[in-house]
Amino acid sequence: MTKLASRLRGSSTEPTRAVEGIYPRFRSNLRSIESREIYENFRTPLAETIDNINALQSWPDEWDGYQMAPSSGSIKHALSWIKDLYEDVSTMLYKDASQMNRVWFNPFVVADAHGNVVFEWWKNRRKLTVYVSPTTVEYIKVWGPNIFSDMEDGEVEVSTERQALWRWLTD
C-alpha cells in the first residue's frame, strides 16, 4: 500500500499477507510485463510493418512450393524505403494540417516470385503496389479494371515521388 493510500485509510504502510506471499515470486515477471506494455504503448504505427518486413527473413526458399525466398538485399532496401515513406508522410502532415486525411496506414507486406519485397495498400477503389528489389523500387497504381486507362507504373526513390504516390492513394 502506498503512503498516500495509508494516510487516506489511516492504516499502516505494511503490505498485506496476500501481497507478501505473491509479489516476491512474480516480481521479475511483473517487470518484464510492465516494460513490454510500456514498449507497446510507444510503438509507432510503422512498427508493425517493420516487424512484418523482418519476418520475411525467415521465409524459406520455395515458401509456397515454387517461389524463392525474399533476398536480404530486398529486405534491407524495403526497410529503408518504408521508413523514408513514413517520414515523408509524417512531414507532410506536420507541415500542413489540411493533409490530415492522408494519415499513415500500414501496407500488406509479402514477397514476390523474384525475391522482392512487396507492399500493397488499398483505399476505396485505389490500389498501390510497390515492389522493392535490392536496387530499385517500382510501383503500380490501379484505380479501375482497364489496364490502358486505369493503371500507371514507374519507379520511385526520392521524397517528392513518394509523397506524390501517397497523395494519390489518400485522395
pLDDT digits (tens, 9 = 90+) for 17-72: 444 444 444 444 444 444 455 555 567 789 999 999 999 999 877 766 667 889 99
Number of domains into which the chain is organized: 2
Q: Are residues 23 and 105 in the same domain?
A: no
The domain containing residue 30 runs over which residues? 3-40
Q: What is the pLDDT of residue 61?
A: 79
Q: What is the pTM of this model?
A: 0.72
**Residue (of 120, 137, 127, 130) closest to 169 by Cα position:** 127
Q: Are residues 8 and 68 in the same domain?
A: no
Q: Are residues 61 and 18 in the same domain?
A: no
Q: Are residues 80 and 130 in the same domain?
A: yes
Give me the half-sphere count of Cα atoms (radius 13 Å) on the Cβ side of residue 81.
28
Q: Are residues 28 and 92 in the same domain?
A: no
Q: Are residues 90 and 166 in the same domain?
A: yes
Q: Report whether pLDDT(171) > 90.
A: no
Q: Are residues 65 and 132 in the same domain?
A: yes
Q: Are residues 99 and 158 in the same domain?
A: yes
Instruction: Yes or no: say if 15 and 44 are a contact pair by the CB < 8 Å rule.
Output: no
Q: Are residues 15 and 72 in the same domain?
A: no
Q: Are residues 80 and 115 in the same domain?
A: yes
Confidence of residue 165 (pLDDT cuts 50, 70, 90): very high
